[in-house]
Amino acid sequence: MRRKLVVGNWKMNGGRVANAELLAALKEAEPWDAAVAVCAPFPYLADTALSLQGSRMQWGAQDCSAHESGAYTGEVSAGMLAEFGCHFVIVGHSERRALHGESDQLVADKAKIALAHKLTPIVCVGETLAEREAGQTDAVVKRQLSAVIHTLGHCISQVVVAYEPVWAIGTGKTATPEQAQAVHAVLRAQLHAATEKSAEMLILYGGSVKADNAKQLFAQGDIDGGLIGGASLKAADFAAICKAAA
């Protein structure tokens, strides 16, 4: 049986004092039966690592460069993250795809370099509202994941996949448990065709997950936890979601 995973994505939020208070409150709420991690902005990763000493929670970054090193001002390499003990790195978040023009192949390249440095990439896929209304959901998420499968080959089993319908991120809307499960099942089938270890892989749901809908979402057969945005910034809400994943 797959152990649930809940990952908080702080996005471009937080501050040193607020982060310390949030992490202290989460440590007090431990332990949970689910695995838990937080992905903080780059400047706060070292503080996060120190704050989580003695905790079961892991930490990660929200992105990494597709390059090893070089003249890429403002970029942060997977090797740099690994040197600090980073565990997870989010790649292909819908905001990176939409606001920074990241292609399916670039996302796949980031996942590949993350794995090369022994980081676990959380590969995000998801459709826009227009794509869902046009009946293109399955085609879109399969295209996005296909690029990663093609690039990683048998190493695809080492990634975490996160389905995040773009229309449900930060909007207060969320896919119904049945809608989310349907897409997760499509992704599971695609992974099954690519690796014998598909049954062991984690597929997270991200899209306005809250304490009051988490339990129903996590009860679905192919939903293995959540990639949590806004609710991960409030200790009580995030702790309740982690508890719901038990």
User: Any catalytic annotation for residue 28?
Assistant: no
Polymer length in residues for the chain: 246
- Asked whether residue 9 is marked as a ligand-binding residue, the answer is yes
Catalytic residue among 93, 95, 102, 184: 93
Cα end-to-end span (Å), the chain = 12
Task: Check whether 170 is labelled as a binding-site residue.
Answer: yes
To the question of whether residue 229 is assigned a binding role by annotation, the answer is yes
230 is in an annotated binding site: yes
Distance CA 103, CA 42 (A): 22
- Please indicate if the annotation marks 167 as binding a ligand: no
Q: Which of 95, 127, 164, 184 is catalytic?
A: 164
Question: In terms of Cα–Cα distance, which of 161, 163, 146, 190 is closest to 88?
Answer: 161
Q: How far apart are CA 45 and CA 59, in angstroms?
A: 8
Residue 150 a catalytic site member: no
Query: Which residues carry a binding-site annotation?
Result: 9-11, 170, 208, 229-230
Catalytic residue numbers?
Answer: 93, 164
Which residues are part of a known binding site for substrate? Answer: 9-11, 170, 208, 229-230
